[in-house]
Structures are given as structure tokens and as C-alpha cells.
């Protein structure tokens, strides 16, 4: 090989090496396998209603719902005035030991518009204002299994949802909001916050017949527990 050929090949080799190195670096950057998973740190907090010092603070809790009005328009929103916890056991570091059961009285639906609440909504749900403990008037959530979320500090909950005479297994998200204290001295209490979100198909799965609501219903729950120190 003469000198002129070498002088032409050397720059070409350098150029090809640069291109290959650039392509390799791009593949490494875009490769999902090298994405660093989030760092999730959980504590060891335990909250249970079996402790006589712990109570459910209904006054500062809520059960809210929303759905598209007429199935496609702006959001129709509301809440239930009567709701409660039958059981609640939470171990922050042990989801297998966490479980809960909660309920609402369906006829306490509240959208701040009496004509709607005591009219089309109660008719849609098949309840009336005289009902209380009847099965048709209670929507019940009962957890079946709880596991860690892999993307954040929350917990994935599989649960049975009983509503309108039908029970279906659904999946929701439980979040522990944190802990603080209130009061001083003899009134000092630990306060714990939780939220629980899920969706369900009212028409497809729970036999609701209505043109006023969409099939998809969003439920957002917040719960507060207080413990005397």
C-alpha cells in the first residue's frame, strides 16, 4: 500500500470510529434497561382501629365522586354525607397485614342541588330517603389483597366493591398521607391521613340505567384517624 492510499484510509477510519461511538452512546442513553428506578422510602407506622385509643375522624373525611354529565359533557360531582369504617389496619412496612372495610349510605348523595339529589340521582341508584341499613342502600369496599406500588410510596389494593346489588373485584390506590400531632398535654393526639382512589363502570358492571351519567365513575376518598397518646 502506498502512502497516498494510507492518507485517504486513515481519515475514513477515524470518521467511521466516531460514527460508531456516537451510535453506541445513543443506544445506551435510550435503552430502557438503564433507566434508574425511583428510590422509594417507607417508614414503620402502624394504625389500627382495634386499638381502643384510635378513632376514625369522620368529621374531616370525605367520599367524593365525579362523572361526565350526559356521558360526554362537563363533570358532574358530588359526595356522600354518611360513610364510615368497619375495620382498618395499616402497617406501612407490611402491606400483607394491611386491610380495611368501608361503606357509604347511597341515599346521602349530595351535589348541593336538592332537586338533583332527591330526584334523578336517588331514582338512578334505586334508593329513597327512608332507607338506612338495607343492602340496596349501602355501597361497601372490602380489601382482598394489598401490595406495594412499584412507582411511588402508595399501595395497590384489590378489593370487592358491592354496589346496586352487584359485587365486583376492582383495583384501587391507597396512599398514606403522613402523620402529625394536635393538642397539648392531656389533649395531645397523633393524627394520620390516608387517601384511596378508584374507578368503576356503573352501567357495564353495576347495572345502573341512566342517560345522565357516564359509564365511568371516579371515586376519591380521604380518611383521618386520631390516636390518644
pLDDT band at 212 (very low <50, low <70, confident <90, very high): confident
Give percent above pLDDT 70 in the chain.
84
Q: What does pTM read for this prediction?
A: 0.81
- CATH number of the CATH domain containing 96: 2.40.128.110
The string of pLDDT tens digits covering residues 48-100 is 999 999 999 999 999 999 999 888 888 889 999 999 999 999 999 999 999 99
Residue 219 has a pLDDT of 98
* Strand stretches in the chain, DSSP E: 46-48, 54-56, 62-68, 75-80, 83-91, 99-105, 109-110, 138-148, 155-163, 166-182, 189-201, 216-228
159 and 197 inside one domain: yes
Structure letter (DSSP) for residue 137: G
84 close to 221: Cβ distance less than 8 angstroms: no
Per-residue cell: 185: 398535654
Q: How many residues does the chain have?
A: 229
pLDDT band at 113 (very low <50, low <70, confident <90, very high): confident
Residue 27 has a pLDDT of 53
Q: What is the span of the domain harbouring residue 152? A: 46-228
Question: Is residue 139 one of the residues assigned to a domain?
Answer: yes
125 and 20 inside one domain: no
Model confidence at 133: pLDDT above 80: yes
* Rounded-to-integer distance, Cα 41 and Cα 229, Å: 26
Lowest mean pLDDT among 135-144, 171-180, 206-215: 206-215
pLDDT band at 121 (very low <50, low <70, confident <90, very high): confident
Mean per-residue pLDDT over the chain, rounded: 87
Mean pLDDT of 185-206: 96
Question: Is residue 40 one of the residues assigned to a domain?
Answer: no
Structure letter (DSSP) for residue 153: S
Characterize 37-60 residue by residue with b for buried, 16 or more Cβ atoms within 10 angstroms of its Cβ, and e for exposed. eeeeeeeeebbbbeeeebebeeee
Number of domain units in the chain: 2
29 and 115 inside one domain: no
Amino acid at each position: 500500500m502506498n502512502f497516498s492510499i494510507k492518507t485517504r484510509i486513515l481519515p475514513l477510519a477515524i470518521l467511521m470510529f466516531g460514527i460508531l461511538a456516537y451510535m453506541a452512546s445513543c443506544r445506551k442513553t435510550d435503552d430502557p434497561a438503564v433507566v434508574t428506578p425511583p428510590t422509594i422510602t417507607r417508614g414503620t407506622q402502624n394504625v389500627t382501629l382495634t386499638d381502643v385509643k384510635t378513632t376514625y375522624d369522620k368529621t374531616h373525611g370525605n367520599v367524593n365522586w365525579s362523572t361526565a354529565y350526559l356521558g360526554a359533557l362537563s363533570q358532574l360531582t358530588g359526595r356522600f354525607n354518611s360513610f364510615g369504617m368497619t375495620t382498618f389496619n395499616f402497617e406501612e412496612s407490611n402491606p400483607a397485614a394491611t386491610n380495611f372495610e368501608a361503606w357509604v349510605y347511597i341515599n346521602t348523595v349530595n351535589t348541593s342541588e336538592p332537586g338533583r339529589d332527591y330526584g334523578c340521582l336517588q331514582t338512578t341508584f334505586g334508593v329513597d330517603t327512608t332507607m338506612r341499613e338495607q343492602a340496596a342502600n349501602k355501597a361497601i369496599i372490602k380489601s382482598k389483597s394489598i401490595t406495594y406500588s412499584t412507582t411511588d410510596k402508595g399501595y395497590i389494593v384489590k378489593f370487592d366493591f358491592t354496589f346496586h346489588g352487584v359485587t365486583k373485584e376492582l383495583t384501587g390506590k391507597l396512599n398514606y398521607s403522613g402523620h402529625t400531632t394536635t393538642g397539648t398535654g392531656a389533649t395531645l393526639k397523633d393524627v394520620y391521613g390516608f387517601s384511596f382512589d378508584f374507578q368503576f363502570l356503573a352501567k357495564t358492571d353495576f347495572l345502573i340505567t341512566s342517560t345522565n351519567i357516564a359509564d365511568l365513575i371516579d371515586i376519591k376518598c380521604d380518611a383521618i384517624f386520631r390516636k390518644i397518646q
